[in-house]
Structure 1
Amino acid sequence: MLEVKKISVKVSPILFFSLLALEIISCNTPAQKAEIPPNIVFISIDDLNDWVGFLGHEQAITPHMDQLASKGYSFTNAHCPAPVCGPSRTAVLSGLSPVTSGIYDNNIKFSRDLPKVVTLPEHFRNNGYQVYGIGKLFHGGASNVPKTAFDLYGGKSGSAAPFTSSELQNSKQDPYHLVTKGGKTFKLPLNGMPADRYWNKSHTFDWGPVDLPDSLFSDRQSVDWAIDQLDDIKKEPFLLALGFERPHQPLFNPKRFHDLYPLDKASLPDVPENDLIDLPHRAKQLALYPRTSGRHQTVVKFGQWENAVSSYLASVSFVDELIGDLIKALEQHRLIDNTWIVLWSDHGWHLGEKSHWGKATGWYRSTRVPFLIVPPMGQKQFKKSEQVKNMVNLLDLAPTMADIAGIPKSPKWEGRSLMPILKQEAENWEEATLTTFSIGSHTISTPHWQLISYFDGSDELYDMVNDPNQFFNLAQQPQKTQMINQLKKHIPEESRWNYFIRYKDYKILVPKKGDIQVFDQILEGRNDEDIAAEVPGLVKKILGYIEENKPQQKKLTIDVL
């Protein structure tokens, strides 16, 4: 039997406390801290184009976002999957492109239309994260948010606050009406303009200062809620998703933000008088039809262009201040050293460029978005203040965030993880990205070119290096044919459809299965409504044309039936 003996070792008090201190220090080494999964703050901003300081806008006052950019990665060639809220947000939160999901417009309720798709926040919940959400993340009201998306969702107030949707109704603004808030009376619409989209229930194409307490504005309420959650979070890791409503119209903000941008100092976009002359038929329709906002001619007629630019920038600065408050709270809670910050906008926004207001176009003003990824302050292996020029897409958010968190990626996600770029290990990165702005219509963006391809077979091509304002459409130049064909290789097949056809102002979709769909592209208030049942003669002629001519091309324009 093995005999065990006690061995007595005499240790001096100095040596004992030295060893104890060494053990305590070793338990808190950076290597062991790094084993804790990181937190992620996920910031979505609605309708924010590239009018921010860190992307070079000379008037935008955005010190907090600029500071974030100085501490992380600013993607200067980031584009949206779709230039409309519903399909863009659906793409980000599902990881699926509009062509794959079938979500091309704002008529989307996630749980109804994609019931089997696990959302991005739910994916984090399924992999050990506490997930909190507030504000506009999914498109639509709070009822559109899937019940399984968040552990706790704080709701959504709407961009009209401090006014209600009822107070913005068109029926009440004839031509205006008075609303009293906080003892003050406001004359709506603040900008004095009638609604170009008279068919809508509410008149939201409005802007101006609202001298009321910040606490009455939805974005202030959302940030306060998010900060309150930091007090309640007892364990990490967490994903905190915050969706700002601004600068989505109406552009109502506390007065001090409008004071930052005097009207006589407003710098207006450059809009040449004949800017639309070289555009195809469908492009001119998109430019002039008030699908998401109002008409450029109305803004100019009422002398509101400067006020609109000032109010948009005021909205951006309001959001920037609130982001600063959230970052300060993360620092005060000592969370900043293990928290990634991801900031993005769902798409851009026109303020008169191409004589257009709003979004839903294929032009650069609609497709380009601000996009920041800021590593934790405690992680030194990532290069700080890096401007990334690679072509990226918001579809890349899901796989990138999974890699940040160290959790599995869904095999169904279509984006590319940006982690190789963050680690400066990216090789053979494909420098092209896709934006889909309607069924059959897409934009391909590269560092040098932007191709806009419409459902009817017409195109625009712009040299983004020498013509960043997109004043000169080069698509009709014979020497550009090869370039156009090369870029079109990035356009998806859209296999649900046999033909995309334009006849006069009609868009006609011929599916592989089911009935023909017909849309009148300039039918006010109904341009997104299938009216095939109302035009049976046209449907019959289209079917006859296809049977007789058997077109080889999928996209075509028919001049005579």
Structure 2
Amino acid sequence: MKKRLLFICFTFTLVNTLLSQTQESPNVLVFYIDDLRAELGCYGSQTAITPNIDKLASEGIMFNKAYTQQAICAPSRMSTLTGLRPETLGIYSIFTPLRKIHKDVVTLPQLFKQNGYKTISTGKVYHHTIDDKESWSQLVVRPSKRYLKPENLKAIEALKAGGKKNPKGPAYEDADVEDEAYVDGEIANNAIKMLNKYKDDKFLLFVGFTKPHLPFIAPKKYWDMHDKSKFEIPSKEKPQNMYRLALSKWGELKGYHGIPKEDPLNDDITRTLIHGYHACVSYMDAQVGKVMQTLEELDLRKNTMIIFMSDHGYKIGEYGAWCKHSNVEIDVRVPLIVSRETNAKNRISGEVSNALVENVDIFSTLTEICGLESPKSDGKSLVPVLDNPDIKWDEVATSVFARGKNIMGCTATDGSWRYTEWRDSTTHEILGAELYAHKNSLLSFQNLSGKEEYKDVEKRMKALLESQFPRDAEPFLQNDQPRH
């Protein structure tokens, strides 16, 4: 009898312990946004209209110095989802799926699924939807519908009839339709369905909104929120003595129907595109609000950790250039907001952290918070920063961008200065160097590398860069063949 009572007590204790551990392991909801620069109301923008994201920032910690590992979709997303840098994976282009090269790398959804979580992907999470199919409990492939205006559909058909294969339509559209008529509205609805379906399970849900990625398509009401005439045209001046390959030729935008091939674009088309970008940000913000409202209505917010992040930054006319595909500050700096579950211990709300953090850190952060044993990662857990936003943290954040197969751009920031070396991918010979001041601005118009008065700054930044990219290292691993 005594043994039986002991066994019952032991079983009761074990069950309680397991239940307690289960309760302490939160759900995770990640908003993964495409081409979103750190230009939101909560980041001080005077033109962005983003009330839902701003509210989320007021409920968590907003990182003011967060950086992606490469300013291009596929490699940056692979890095986040594996906790490994592009130079570790050896993939730098959008054309190579992760699983084509790395069959055995443990990814975030794979690890969470192995540990009993329901893992759900809706919208654009990986760039390649073929990646990690078996690691998702449910994969909702992102919708492909785009244009709705008859004149735009006719223009596309005319291009096809003229022999153009898979032509891109116009770079923007503003049909007077409901949110669900365009892609991100449908993605939001799918996310809401998934929350209802899995509300009684532990879940890891990635919601990959596609806007503000080109084409700048959003319902007319979001265009109407913004006065086109109020948008200022950014300086088209390029930094003095910039390395010849530092900026791309922004072929991504030039490929859209009706976009002139001139460089830079004229002020009228520039202002229209800036208007379209902002309309798409407001449209995406509204979809974030719908998903968050559902989370509250289902009483899931108390045990759900929220991460709001972007794959990389973006240029909308700065330097007379567009899109991403570079190592400049405005392309590699990203918005990042982390809001702990409302019943979490040490939950801090409405704080801004200036700690240097990186998207590659998300993997380790989530595994620690959810109590999972993490594989080796190139990032580090941000839990100490979430507990103390003012804590002294890393000295450097680094990124890369490949130009073709033979040139690698390596860049480092200390939060105030950005130092970049363009190297031979095999020998690490320095082909060009850039030093820019960014203490007070995302933009910088003079390359200070080699100037006597900045030699101490450059020496220090060079040492920080070499801490991640030593000159005597092996050639850069290239598992694909990057293109311009």
* TM-score category of the 2 structures, normalised to the smaller one: 0.7 to 0.9
**For 2:215 and 2:153, how far apart are their aligned partners in 1?**
11
1:154 and 2:140 aligned: yes
**For 1:279 and 1:425, how far apart are their aligned partners in 2?**
35
**For 1:421 and 1:326, how far apart are their aligned partners in 2?**
26
Equivalent of 1:310 in 275, 287, 295: 275
**For 2:351 and 2:381, how far apart are their aligned partners in 1?**
17
Change (3 A) 1:59 1:301: closer
**For 1:103 and 1:93, how far apart are their aligned partners in 2?**
14
Equivalent of 1:471 in 419, 426, 445: 445
Equivalent of 1:483 in 454, 457, 460: 457
Partner of 2:408: 440
Residues 87, 104 of structure 1: 8 Å contact kept: yes
Report the AA paired with residue 481 of structure 1.
Answer: K
Q: Figure out how many residues of one structure are paired with residues of the other and give that number.
A: 444
Deviation at 1:291, TM superposition (A): 3.8
SS of aligned partner of 2:308: strand
1:74 and 2:52 aligned: no
Report the AA paired with residue 53 of structure 2.
Answer: M
Partner of 1:454: 422
Q: Flag the structure with more relative contact order, 1 or 2, with Cα contacts below 8 A and sequence separation at least 6.
A: 2
**For 1:261 and 1:189, how far apart are their aligned partners in 2?**
28
Residues 444, 490 of structure 1: 8 Å contact kept: no
1:129 and 2:117 aligned: yes
**For 2:368 and 2:455, how far apart are their aligned partners in 1?**
40
**For 2:431 and 2:218, how far apart are their aligned partners in 1?**
42
RMSD of the alignment, in Å?
Answer: 3.0
Deviation at 1:112, TM superposition (A): 1.1
Question: Once the two structures are superposed, what CA deviation does each residue of 1:157-193 show, in whole Å capped at 9, x if it has no partner?
Answer: 24xx333xxxxxxxxxxxxxxxxx4xx5223699xxx
Partner of 1:277: 240
Partner of 1:385: 350
Partner of 1:266: 231
Partner of 1:523: none
Change (3 A) 1:205 1:388: farther
Deviation at 1:271, TM superposition (A): 3.2
Structure 1 unpaired stretches of 5+: 1-27, 164-180, 499-510, 520-526, 530-561
In the TM superposition, 1:223-262 aligns within 5 A as: 223-233=188-198, 235-262=200-227
Question: Once the two structures are superposed, what CA deviation does each residue of 1:469-505 show, in whole Å capped at 9, x if it has no partner?
Answer: 211221130232343233232342484528xxxxxxx
1:139 and 2:113 aligned: no
Question: Once the two structures are superposed, what CA deviation does each residue of 1:183-205 show, in whole Å capped at 9, x if it has no partner?
Answer: x5223699xxx9xxx99843366
Equivalent of 1:348 in 313, 318, 328: 313
SS of aligned partner of 1:132: strand
Report the AA paired with residue 72 of structure 1.
Answer: G
Question: Once the two structures are superposed, what CA deviation does each residue of 1:326-367 show, in whole Å capped at 9, x if it has no partner?
Answer: 000001101011111011000011111111111011111101
Deviation at 1:466, TM superposition (A): 4.6
CA radius of gyration, larger in: 1
In the TM superposition, 1:78-227 aligns within 5 A as: 78-140=66-128, 142=129, 144-158=130-144, 161-163=145-147, 181=148, 185-187=150-152, 201-203=166-168, 206-227=171-192
SS of aligned partner of 2:141: coil
Question: Once the two structures are superposed, what CA deviation does each residue of 1:512-556 show, in whole Å capped at 9, x if it has no partner?
Answer: x99xx9x9xxxxxxx928xxxxxxxxxxxxxxxxxxxxxxxxxxx
**For 1:102 and 1:157, how far apart are their aligned partners in 2?**
29
**For 1:112 and 1:440, how far apart are their aligned partners in 2?**
22
Report the AA paired with residue 310 of structure 2.
Answer: S
Residues 30, 308 of structure 2: 8 Å contact kept: yes
Deviation at 1:376, TM superposition (A): 1.2
**For 2:262 and 2:329, how far apart are their aligned partners in 1?**
21
Report the AA paired with residue 119 of structure 1.
Answer: T
**For 1:282 and 1:134, how far apart are their aligned partners in 2?**
36
Question: Once the two structures are superposed, what CA deviation does each residue of 1:213-238 show, in whole Å capped at 9, x if it has no partner?
Answer: 32221111111111112222253321
Residues 108, 139 of structure 1: 8 Å contact kept: no
**For 1:212 and 1:361, how far apart are their aligned partners in 2?**
35
Change (3 A) 1:426 1:49: closer
Residues 353, 390 of structure 2: 8 Å contact kept: no
TM-score by length of 1: 0.73
**For 2:453 and 2:153, how far apart are their aligned partners in 1?**
53
Deviation at 1:270, TM superposition (A): 3.1
Aligned-residue sequence identity (percent) comes to 27
Report the AA paired with residue 435 of structure 2.
Answer: L
Residues 51, 313 of structure 1: 8 Å contact kept: no
Deviation at 1:462, TM superposition (A): 1.2
Question: Once the two structures are superposed, what CA deviation does each residue of 1:439-488 show, in whole Å capped at 9, x if it has no partner?
Answer: 52121011221112212521111121255421122113023234323323
**For 1:234 and 1:358, how far apart are their aligned partners in 2?**
38
1:292 and 2:276 aligned: no
Report the AA paired with residue 408 of structure 2.
Answer: G
TM-score by length of 2: 0.85
SS of aligned partner of 1:322: helix
Partner of 2:469: 492
Deviation at 1:211, TM superposition (A): 2.2
Residues 204, 249 of structure 1: 8 Å contact kept: no
Deviation at 1:427, TM superposition (A): 5.8
Partner of 1:42: 30
Change (3 A) 1:457 1:298: closer
Of the structure 1 ranges 208-217 and 395-404, higher mean CA displacement relative to structure 2 is found in 208-217
Residues 315, 323 of structure 2: 8 Å contact kept: yes
**For 1:85 and 1:128, how far apart are their aligned partners in 2?**
29
**For 2:216 and 2:57, how far apart are their aligned partners in 1?**
25
Deviation at 1:118, TM superposition (A): 1.5
1:358 and 2:323 aligned: yes
Change (3 A) 1:441 1:305: same
Change (3 A) 1:189 1:358: farther
Change (3 A) 1:368 1:433: same
Structure 2 unpaired stretches of 5+: 1-15, 255-259, 424-429
